[in-house]
Amino acid sequence: MFARLSTYQGSPVPAKGDLTASSRSAFQQVQDLPGFRGVYYLLDRASGKAMTLSLWENEDTMRGSEDRATRIREETTRREGQRVVSVERFEVGFSQLAP
């Protein structure tokens, strides 16, 4: 499995508030791409720093999603008033979720 970690910086986010709508919109745009296995959206509301960790079946499918992922990042950051700080790619050495 491979992962792409995108880091963003924006304004602080109010402590209350549901982030589901904006996150679900981005998810719906990638969920049907070949090799997509999942995504996490991480946020520090106080600082406005956020990250998305997308998971891919293998390196080829991750690389094959690059153009679409770039467009989604650009659209989302423009809409949310953020900027892209970095985009990194990793091989997942180990993963385990508790049942």
Judge contact between 5 and 51, C-beta under 8 A: yes
Question: Bigger pLDDT: 53 or 25?
Answer: 53
Share the mean pLDDT of the chain. 90
Average pLDDT over residues 17-25: 69
pLDDT of residue 20: 67
Judge contact between 74 and 42, C-beta under 8 A: no
* Tokens read off for 48: 């406005």
Average pLDDT over residues 72-77: 89
How many CA atoms lie within 13 Å of 90's alpha carbon, on the beta-carbon side? Answer: 13
For residue 3, pLDDT over 80 is answered with yes
Q: What is the pTM of this model?
A: 0.88
Residue 18's pLDDT band, with cuts at 50, 70 and 90, is low
Angle at 35 between CA 34 and CA 36, to 5 degrees: 95
DSSP state of 58: S
Strands (E) in the chain, as ranges, are: 2-9, 36-44, 49-56, 83-91
